[in-house]
Every structure is written in structure tokens, then in C-alpha cells.
């Protein structure tokens, strides 16, 4: 194999190994969003007709903490002029369809969970409590 081909095909420094949980950029460069941006997004979603999304985000984190499987890949769509991510979990004999606002790098976070790149996701309550302890 040529030197260039070997360089290109050899394993890169980016690891596909599961890593510990880092959600906030303040905790590491591999974080997805800052604490302030996440809280601002949650507070904005709490207002108005889309407040159900807070429950969906809580369910998302709680399902991930329980290591539940996704039924399919997350999909992007536009709902009432907003970009949202549809996430479907298998929960017993049912399916949970969650609508998550495409904000705070949530799509990448969900994809990383789906591919097993992140482990040890806290519950929503644990995540929010970690913010208030700062």
C-alpha cells in the first residue's frame, strides 16, 4: 500500500469508542451546547403552544438514561415554521414519538446516542440538577 493511501485509510484520531457523558461545552470540547443556551431554549419552549416539548425533552433524556433503543433514525421536518427532530423510541409494546426542537445541537446528540458514541446519559432531572449545582 502506498504511504498516502496508508495514511488516508489508517484509523484517524477521532475515536468511535463510546465516551463518558459530556453534554455541555463547559465540561469539554465534545459537548453539544452551553448551559446558558440550553436553559434559554427550554425556557423559550415553555412559553406558548409548544410547551409539550419540555415533556418530550424530559422523556428523551429519561429514555436514554434507561438505555432504550430508537425505533428508527431521527428525522428532521418543519412543523409550524420550526425545524424539529422526530425521535421514536421502543417502550415495551408501544412506540414513543417525540418532537424535539432542532436547537442546541440536539440532532448530533441524538445521532451520537443512536450510534453508541455516548453512554451514561443522565435523566433529565439529573441534567438540570447538574446545572443548578454550578
Residue 127 confidence (pLDDT) above 80:
yes
pLDDT given at position 39: 94
pLDDT given at position 53: 93
91-117 b/e with 16+ CB inside 10 Å = b? eeeeebebbbbebbbbbebbebbbeeb
- pLDDT, greater one: 5 or 121: 121
| Edge-to-edge order in the sheet of strand 75-79 | 75-79, 82-91, 94-101
> Considering the entire predicted model, what is its pTM?
0.82
* Cα separation, 23 vs 26, whole angstroms: 9
Amino acid at each position: 500500500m502506498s504511504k498516502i493511501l496508508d495514511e488516508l485509510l489508517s484509523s484517524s484520531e477521532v475515536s468511535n469508542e463510546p465516551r463518558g457523558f459530556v453534554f455541555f461545552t463547559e465540561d469539554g470540547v465534545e459537548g453539544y451546547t452551553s448551559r446558558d443556551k440550553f436553559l434559554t431554549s427550554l425556557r423559550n419552549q415553555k412559553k406558548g403552544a409548544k410547551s409539550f416539548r419540555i415533556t418530550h425533552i424530559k422523556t428523551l433524556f429519561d429514555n436514554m438514561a434507561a438505555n432504550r433503543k430508537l425505533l428508527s433514525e431521527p428525522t428532521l421536518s418543519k412543523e409550524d415554521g420550526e425545524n424539529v427532530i422526530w425521535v421514536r423510541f421502543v417502550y415495551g409494546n408501544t412506540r414513543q414519538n417525540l418532537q424535539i426542537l432542532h436547537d442546541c445541537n440536539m440532532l448530533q446528540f441524538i445521532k451520537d446516542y443512536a450510534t453508541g458514541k455516548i453512554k451514561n446519559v443522565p435523566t433529565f432531572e439529573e441534567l438540570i440538577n447538574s446545572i443548578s449545582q454550578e
